[in-house]
Structure 1
């Protein structure tokens, strides 16, 4: 994982903070906790789903998530690894993530897949939040 850094201590804390947001996202999805998931987004956030659907605003993200997340993780479990952080400004970070979704029963067939999300996060009042996000499934 890399970043553009002017103050190494601040950058280290910011990388830890954006990594914590990704960990919170992983936990919220795996536990199917819609409220915890939605709380990670800015009010005006945009989200493009793995299927290409554009959602604008936290309310739209919440409404969509309430229809898909409950029950979505009964057969699978996801893991998320931050692989690159690029600070566009001190309060804006582009965060590339490696996502792996596997069957809970360990079988190789069926629901397993890899994703390659990109999260643009902003630091608002000292808290990193998801702002502009693309959830992409890796094909082939």
Structure 2
């Protein structure tokens, strides 16, 4: 996840902290750890899954994740790479991520957008949308 483009904005320490959150998303999904995943979100977060399910608030995200994540990664692995960080304010960033999901059926590429906010020294997922890449690349 190194080398995130930032358009000249944002200190390296903040980008590194954001990259750690994205790495934690990857870790929690690959290891099917719903509580770790849910702990990365603000209480009032918005999450739209790759399948288009819209979830409002950490409680809804938790209920969905606890239902689908255990067993959901069997035989599969996902990786995330931070492609671009745009600091909207020093404590709010739009983070463009390249997601690669490898399943027994093949490889799918996604392009999540994570809007993150820094609160109390911790970056949290705030408004996130996962989208497939139309051209597969």
Q: TM-score, normalised by structure 2?
A: 0.91
Which residue does 1:88 correspond to in 2? 88
Give SS of 2:35's match.
helix
Q: CA, structure 1 residues 58+111, in 2 after alignment: closer, same or farther (shift >3 Å)?
A: farther
Alignment: residue pair count: 132
- Deviation at residue 139 of structure 1 after TM alignment: 3.2
**Moved runs in structure 1, 4+ residues, more than 3 A?**
none
Which residue does 1:135 correspond to in 2? 130
| Gaps in structure 1 of 5+ consecutive residues | none
Equivalent residues in 2 for 1:30-109, closer than 5 Å:
30-103=30-103
Distance 2:40 2:119 in 1: 12
Distance 2:106 2:36 in 1: 24
Distance 1:111 1:131 in 2: 30
Give SS of 1:44's match.
strand
Which residue does 1:126 correspond to in 2? 121
Let me know the Cα RMSD of the aligned residues.
Answer: 1.4
Task: Name which one, 1 or 2, has greater alpha-carbon Rg.
Answer: 1
Distance 1:78 1:53 in 2: 19
- Deviation at residue 111 of structure 1 after TM alignment: 4.6
Q: CA, structure 1 residues 111+59, in 2 after alignment: closer, same or farther (shift >3 Å)?
A: farther
- Deviation at residue 119 of structure 1 after TM alignment: 0.0
Give SS of 2:123's match.
strand
Distance 2:74 2:7 in 1: 39
**Which residue of the other structure, out of 1, 6, 26, is the alignment partner of 1:3?**
6
- Deviation at residue 67 of structure 1 after TM alignment: 1.2
| Gaps in structure 2 of 5+ consecutive residues | none
Which residue does 2:112 correspond to in 1? 117
- Deviation at residue 112 of structure 1 after TM alignment: 2.4
